[in-house]
Amino acid sequence: MVIGAGKMALVLVIFASLLIGLYYVSFRTGLTGWLFYEVLLLLLPYVIIGGRTCYRAIRDMFLKSKGLSHGSQSDWLQLVTILAAPFGIGGAFQSVSTIDAETVSNSSCAKPTGLNFTSPNCLEVQTLTQTRGPFTELGLLGVWLVVLGAVGAVAFGVFYLLLRLRPAPFNESEKAKGT
């Protein structure tokens, strides 16, 4: 049962990875205007096909999961290791993203405009900060890994409960036999 629920969760995490890839292609490339919507429409069939494929895979696994054992201690240990890996790796990527990084801030007077921000006549100061470094992008990758780990953990919990609480199948042939 542990392995079956784990496989179902893995299929769902693969679909979530497809959606994250769509996010990167559409939003992170800086596409604007009609080009953004054209790329989104071009990638939409991949999302639909991926979603239908994942749904069918989970449905087939669920239908084939009769009589599963509840899992041995080694199965549970393997599951905990696999579920903990994205959190550890994502945290490591977030830590590495700060190596040799610098934060640059730029202050200006927002109201009234045109004044120096140190002027006593400046009513509102606006400060823009930007962090840059050689590994800054790894921080965002680490966040997405943690998100995928959380999706996998929740999906495993839901699928395990569905498999565990599912009533035993009742067939007419079993009723006729008297079993």
Is residue 87 in a domain? Answer: yes
Is residue 142 in a domain? Answer: no
Is residue 22 in a domain? Answer: yes
Higher-pLDDT residue of 26 and 97 is 97
- The CA-CA-CA angle for residues 142, 88, 154, to 5°, reads 85
Q: Are residues 87 and 128 in the same domain?
A: no
Q: What whole-number distance in Å separates Cα of residue 106 and Cα of residue 123? A: 17
Instruction: Give the model's confidence band at 175: pLDDT under 50 very low, under 70 low, under 90 confident, else very high.
Output: very low
**Domain enclosing residue 112, as ranges:** 100-133
Is residue 178 in a domain? Answer: no
Q: What whole-number distance in Å separates Cα of residue 42 and Cα of residue 16? A: 18
User: Which segments within the chain are labelled E, that is strand?
Assistant: 102-111, 124-132
Cα Rg of the chain, angstroms: 25
Residue 169 pLDDT > 60 = no
Is residue 125 in a domain? Answer: yes
Q: Are residues 91 and 114 in the same domain?
A: no
Domain count, the chain: 2
81-99 pLDDT, tens digit per residue, is 888 888 888 888 888 888 8
Q: Are residues 91 and 57 in the same domain?
A: yes
Is residue 174 in a domain? Answer: no
Residue pair 156/79 in contact (Cβ under 8 Å)? The answer is yes
Q: Are residues 54 and 15 in the same domain?
A: yes
Q: Are residues 128 and 154 in the same domain?
A: no
* Nearest to 82, CA basis, from 162, 175, 177, 13: 13
Residue pair 124/88 in contact (Cβ under 8 Å)? The answer is no
Range with lowest mean pLDDT among 13-17, 112-116, 121-125: 13-17
Is residue 105 in a domain? Answer: yes
